Copies of this chain bind each other. A is one copy, B any other.
Amino acid sequence: MRYGVLGTGAVGHSIASKLVELGHQVTMGSRQAGNQAAVEWARGAGEGAAEGSFADAAETGEALFNCTAGTASLAALESAGAEHLSGKVLIDVANPLDFSEGRPPTLSVCNDDSLAEQIQRAFPNVRVVKALNTVNAEVMTNPAAVPGDHDIFVAGDDAQAKAEVRSLLEAFGWRTILDLGDITAARGLEMYLPLWLRLWQSTGTAQLNVHVAR
């Protein structure tokens, strides 16, 4: 399958590399084609790896990952072009972390709204699925980096899109995937970040995740 991965940071690298490893064709997109990090990634990632603008990645991909910084995601998707997004599954991995006042960050949207809902409203024809934002870049594509049982979540309005994302998450190595319902569940998934940041701080490792005991 062909994937477009928007974003050239640690998350974009982790997702894009895993997709190539699984045999998919991947275009890593950035604000301008020729982005140095994307060019180096495409050169090193081997067969099936390419780079280009956000629009290139979105046009090429049959399904898309939003791995941009949460506060820049809407602009990135605008730049990708609604016509290149329409009808496609968009896996929104981003967290709307606002570092403008320093650390710890606040969320630029929360409580009665979420980034994933903003994206869904801005691009009504996109099949947005919130997933993977609750773990760090490495754990996203290598759940075994965290010992023991631990869980990942999906949320979105499109059941078929969530089923497709579930299959992909299984290919990434996830064993317990909890469907939290419609896209408004993204509020809870994004508002979990302040707790995640404290867990990282207090345990001294970002290789952590939660397991839901019940």
Measured CB to CB, the residues of A under 8 A from B are 101, 104, 106-107, 110-112, 146-150, 155, 178-181, 184-185, 187-189, 191-192, 194-199, 201-203, 205, 207-214
Contact = CB atoms under 8 A, between A and B. Distances in A.
22 contacts: A106-B111, A106-B112, A110-B111, A111-B111, A147-B213, A147-B214, A148-B213, A180-B202, A185-B198, A188-B196, A188-B198, A191-B191, A191-B192, A191-B194, A191-B195, A207-B214, A208-B213, A208-B214, A209-B212, A209-B214, A210-B212, A211-B213
B146 A191 contact: no
A120 to B, nearest CB: 17
A181 B203 contact: no
A155 B211 CA distance: 21
A61 to B, nearest CB: 29
Contacts of A178: 199, 202-203
Contacts of A179: 202
Contacts of A208: 212-214
B180 A187 contact: no
